[in-house]
């Protein structure tokens, strides 16, 4: 009986410690409101880390449109031309869907080497409240794989719906 109690206690302790280690808070990034929403990522490792962003100047390509250009981060939207194809990941349930465009998130992550691409969001025209983006992020020279959540604000949804209604009438 005593051994079972000790074993049960050890299991509860392992579960509690594991929950604390992997207790990630999901932060969302709202590109239009930098108040309570923060940019962060959920790493594959058990460590809780946050990323600080500073932004250097970046020349916007002619075929891109700036969604937001704050001191902390820059989001640029590039519309895909007909027939232009980008890679698609196997975890995307809509493999046959054609992406209509993508958002690229630019940031200088304290590495003082200029602009770094943080992640690219493929846009298929879904009406989600947020988009989960996986990617490789760099923080002070350390490469970390993880997830970034982008909150699809009403402004972004409106931007996309206007954009796609104009250019994607088939």
pLDDT tens for each residue of 123-168: 555 555 555 555 554 444 555 555 555 556 666 666 666 655 554 4
With pLDDT > 90 as the criterion, what percentage of the chain qualifies?
Answer: 0
pLDDT value for 64: 60
pLDDT value for 8: 83
Q: Span 7-12, mean pLDDT?
A: 82
68 close to 61: Cβ distance less than 8 angstroms: no
CA distance 120 to 113: 20
17 burial level (CB within 10 Å; 0-12, 13-18, 19+): exposed
Does pLDDT of 70 surpass 60? Answer: no
Does pLDDT of 6 surpass 70? Answer: yes
pLDDT tens for each residue of 52-64: 333 334 445 555 6
- Between 76 and 12, name the one with better pLDDT: 12
pLDDT tens for each residue of 107-130: 544 444 444 455 555 555 555 555
Does pLDDT of 3 surpass 70? Answer: yes
**Who contacts 14 (Cβ-Cβ below 8 Å, separation ≥6)?**
none
Does pLDDT of 38 surpass 60? Answer: no
Q: From residue 150, give the alpha-carbon distance in Å to each of 75, 113, 118.
A: 11, 25, 12
Question: Where along the chain do its domains lie?
Answer: 22-82+97-167
pLDDT value for 112: 47
């Amino acid at each position: 009986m005593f051994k079972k109690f000790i074993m049960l206690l050890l299991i509860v302790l392992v579960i509690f410690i594991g929950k604390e280690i992997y207790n990630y808070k999901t932060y969302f990034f709202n590109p239009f409101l930098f108040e309570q929403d923060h940019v962060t990522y959920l790493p594959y490792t058990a460590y809780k880390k946050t990323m600080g962003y500073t932004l250097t100047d970046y020349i916007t390509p002619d075929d891109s449109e700036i969604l937001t250009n704050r001191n902390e981060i820059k989001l640029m939207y590039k519309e895909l031309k007909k027939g232009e194809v980008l890679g698609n990941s196997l975890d995307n349930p809509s493999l046959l869907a054609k992406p209509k465009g993508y958002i690229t998130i630019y940031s200088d992550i304290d590495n003082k080497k200029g602009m770094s691409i943080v992640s690219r969001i493929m846009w298929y025209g879904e009406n989600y409240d947020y988009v989960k983006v996986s990617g490789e992020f760099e923080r002070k020279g350390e490469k970390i794989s993880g997830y970034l959540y982008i909150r699809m604000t009403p402004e972004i949804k409106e931007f996309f719906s206007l954009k796609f209604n104009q250019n994607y009438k088939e």
